[in-house]
Amino acid sequence: MTNYRVGVIFGGRTTEHEVSVVTGIQVMKFLSRRHTVIPIYISKDGRWYTGDKLTDLDMYKGFNPKDSGLMPLAFSPDTGIQAVQNPFPKGLLDKPKKLELDVVFPAMHGMNGEDGTLQGLLELANLPYVGSGVLASAICMDKVMTKVVLRGQGLPVVDYLSFSRSQWEREEDEIVARIEAKFSYPVIVKPARLGSSIGIEVAGNADDLKFHISVASHFDSKIIVETYVKDKLDINCSVLGNEALTASVTEQPVSQELLLSFADKYLQGQRARGMEGAKRLVPAPITAELTAEVERMAIEAFRCVGGRGIARIDFLLDPAAQALYVNEINTLPGSLAFYLWEPAGIPPEALVDKLVELALEEHREKSKTNFTSNNTLLQHSDFLGLKKA
């Protein structure tokens, strides 16, 4: 395989900052044996840095932006600039330097990274990057829009109701009444655009509901309330590819609570392993017929949102009704769902290589699009009265 200069971007202004750091360290580890890896860390206050020290997980236990091993970095939407080290030199001999990259590997989770914002910057800079594009990333980050798109394509989702933080502040009683008219308790309250189970709670009565909505509104300006599926099982499946798609084995995450929590996902076993260290049953203990249906629906969901590269599709299974619902689509899943591909004989090193190749494949496809024309409109127009035809 070609040795590429791969910029791995991680961290960011998000409640999932630490999770992103773990994924970024994992990705760099798996890439480093075959590629030149350039760590690109976005701090919690939104500042960008590069430097070899950023490959060490201990660096983040007391991050010091003034560390001599770090270099400020700036990304630009200008295709001639793209990325520059030391963008603000402090002395005559201190100069900016362009950072040459073949491909960018986002290892971002949550808002300001997984939601299409970073992807938009990379699109403008004309840099190849791993994973889904702007639209798919934005849709899948928003739990409400995900349900709108999936339901529009005929895929089953649990019933829901959504509203904004400002609506809640103005119309608390009216919103509670709408929720109680639509659902029976318990219900699930979620920030609409967060991952890693942050801010998600089960409300068993009106007081719980008000409290959990107020908490969720601190994490996002958009809230979603959903039907609670009693005795539900979480079933997940990953999808890999651009046009030709492959489904991974299935998993059943093991939860200690009513909902799969942040602790279930990230604080079991070795914390440095991220989602890879969570407790799970692989493959999920479900029938062959249901497994095939999960795989089919995972590919269909990935395709209908326009996914690229990799994603993990999370399902809810209602055992009593034998009903399967698409719950969420994670376009940059924790630990990149390495653990779902290893049983199929794809080790993490091969998976990240495949994702890099898929990114370059997608970039080559985009390059076939013509962004210019020989339109002579400006030479023959007098819209502003500045020039005679």
DSSP-assigned letters across all residues of 105-164: EE---STTTSSSHHHHHHHHHT--BSS--HHHHHHHH-HHHHHHHHHHTT-----EEEEE
Is pLDDT at 170 greater than 50 in this prediction?
A: yes
CATH code of residue 292: 3.30.470.20
pLDDT of residue 262: 46
Peptide bond into 65 cis (omega under 30): no
pLDDT at 144: 97
> Does 120 share its domain with 251?
no
Tell me: do 95 and 199 sit in the same domain: no
- For the chain, what is the domain count? 3
Q: What's the pLDDT tens digit per position in 123-160?
A: 999 999 999 999 999 999 999 999 999 999 999 999 99
Give the span between the Cα atoms of 327 and 324, in whole angstroms: 9
Q: Are residues 261 and 144 in the same domain?
A: yes
Which pLDDT tens digit goes with each residue over 56-88? 999 998 899 989 889 999 999 999 999 999 988
Both 147 and 106 in one domain: the answer is no
Mark whether 330 and 252 lie in a shared domain.
yes
CATH number at residue 179: 3.30.1490.20
Claim to verify: residue 149 and residue 282 sit in the same structural domain: yes
Q: Do 101 and 200 have their domain in common?
A: no
* Residues 111 and 36 both lie in one domain: yes
Residues 6-27, mean pLDDT to the nearest whole number = 95
pLDDT at 265: 47
d(CA 123, CA 219): 28
Domain that holds residue 247: 140-155+231-361
Q: Which of 49-58, 233-242, 256-265, 358-367 has the lowest mean pLDDT?
A: 256-265
